[in-house]
Amino acid sequence: MFDDKVELDEKLEIEIGKSLWKFDGPIGRLRFFMIQLSVLIGVVAVIFVKSNVIPYIHHCPVDMLKFLLVVILLLLWTSYMAIAKRIYDIFASKKMGIIFSVLLFFTGLFIKGVAAIFVIALMFIPGKMIKNNF
């Protein structure tokens, strides 16, 4: 089901993850940072709309709240896919990427600070598979 380990050979070409929505390959530090920054901007935009726009609409449509919920879920999915891909680059293991991403999700439900520190640390830890930042 999963490729557990990838041979780290200098001649080996690694296909870098290109999709935000699926687990298709590892990503480097810069791409991870850009994805997390985009997710942060999206979350701030949703919070802004929820707190500053919706209170001034007298009859807030329920569909608007459902739309904001769907946007938040898509942003969470994008963030955790990026985390799994980054961990895949660091450990050179798809299995570890998925396991750590799931553990981080459940840890983040209860202890927000640990998840935030872990995501910030992922931006600075060099990977084994991708030699440049991209």
Full-model pTM: 0.78
24: number of Cβ within 10 Å: 15
SS3 43: helix
Sketch the domain layout of the chain as residue ranges.
29-122
35 vs 113, more confident: 35
> What is residue 67's three-state secondary structure?
helix
Give the model confidence (pLDDT) of 63-108 as tens digits.
788 888 999 999 989 998 898 888 888 888 888 888 888 888 888 7
Which amino acid makes up residue 60? C
Q: CA 124: distance to chain centroid?
A: 15
DSSP 55-66: GG-SS--HHHHH
Average pLDDT in the chain: 80
